[in-house]
Amino acid sequence: MSTPKKGNIFIISAASGTGKTTLVSRLLKHHGDIRVSISHTTRQAREGEVHGKHYYFIDIPKFENLIRENAFLEHAKVFDNYYGTSIEGVNLLREQGYDVILEIDIQGAEQVRRILPDACSIFILPPSFQILAERLIGRATDSEEVINKRLNKARHEIEQAFFFDYVVVNEDLDVAENDLLHIIKAHRLKQNSQQLFIENLLENS
Ligand code: 5GP
């Protein structure tokens, strides 16, 4: 008999340039039972980004409407743009049994931790500030002004690592991906993640 299972929530945050998006894409590629929540944003799509795949790109009035309708689990303004996680989108995935990754900033992470204390929060750190700066410059998708803004913000963001359940240092992608996977597996085995299974087992004893 199959046991009903509601997926877990994993919050993944990092200072920008830490390789968080690459890490999450790798996890998704290798593990079909994990999905990422597709956020809504008011920022312009970058080259190669697809509506409905990377983000739902919407305008400010639409975003503000969704805030009024309480459609977001969390939302925040990051670098002059709005970003938000749809409650409906997350619930749908969880009900289908998928574990859901919220790849969100530190403000959003704080909101979700408050609303869903069972969510597992993971912070990704760069090996050093020097490497973080090199990665941001190498990425070259943003203007110099934006890069400087992001670097200045990085220190403040990294200070928030103290409030997360787990911290992963992304020096080597393979190692960091493996670390993430171990965290996900351990969280799945926590007693409160398995309550439905225990109840079902007892009911059928
Ligand atoms: P980017 O514009 O580079 O894709 O993302 C900028 C920042 O916004 C990143 O830290 C990213 O994790 C964060 N972000 C993306 N989606 C959401 C969301 O739904 N909510 C919050 N709070 N932050 C998000």
* Contacts of 171 by beta carbon, 8 Å cutoff, 6+ apart: 127
CATH of segment(s) 9-37+99-204: 3.40.50.300
Atom 21 of ligand 1, residue of closest alpha carbon: 104
Residue 32: pLDDT above 50? yes
Residue 2: pLDDT above 60? no
Q: Considering only the C-alpha atoms of the chain, give the largest distance between any 2 of them, rounded to a whole number of Å.
A: 64
In this predicted structure, what is the pLDDT of residue 139?
66
For ligand 1, whether the C-beta of 105 sits within 6 Å is yes
DSSP 8-state code for residue 59: -
Lowest mean pLDDT across 22-26, 66-70, 122-126, 152-156:
152-156
Atom 24 of ligand 1, residue of closest alpha carbon: 104
Q: Is 3 annotated as a binding residue?
A: no
Distance from the CA of 105 to the center of ligand 1, in angstroms? Answer: 5
Q: Which atom of ligand 1 is least distant from the CA of 76? A: 22
Best probe residue, ligand 1, of 12, 25, 37, 39 (max atoms within 8 Å of C-beta): 39
Provide the pLDDT confidence category of residue 1 given band limits of 50, 70 and 90: very low
DSSP 8-state code for residue 205: -
Percent of the chain beyond pLDDT 90?
Answer: 75
pTM of the model: 0.91
Q: Where are the alpha helices (DSSP H) in 16-121?
A: 20-30, 60-68, 87-95, 106-115
For ligand 1, whether the C-beta of 83 sits within 6 Å is yes
CA distances from 75 to 39, 168, 185 (A): 9, 24, 28
Q: Which atom of ligand 1 is least distant from the CA of 39? A: 19
User: pLDDT for 124-167, tens place per residue?
Assistant: 999 998 898 888 777 667 788 888 887 888 989 999 999 999 99
**What angle separates helix 129-139 from helix 144-159, to the nearest 10 degrees?**
150
For ligand 1, whether the C-beta of 111 sits within 6 Å is no
Residue 191: pLDDT above 80? yes
For ligand 1, whether the C-beta of 104 sits within 6 Å is yes
Residue 74: pLDDT above 60? yes
Mean pLDDT of 85-112: 97
For ligand 1, whether the C-beta of 92 sits within 6 Å is no
In this predicted structure, what is the pLDDT of residue 140?
64
Pairing of the two strands 81-86 and 99-103: unpaired
Residue 177: φ, ψ to 5°: -65, -40
**Where do the domains of the chain lie?**
9-37+99-204
In this predicted structure, what is the pLDDT of residue 166?
98
Vertex 166, ends 136 and 177: CA angle to 5°? 60
In this predicted structure, what is the pLDDT of residue 144?
82
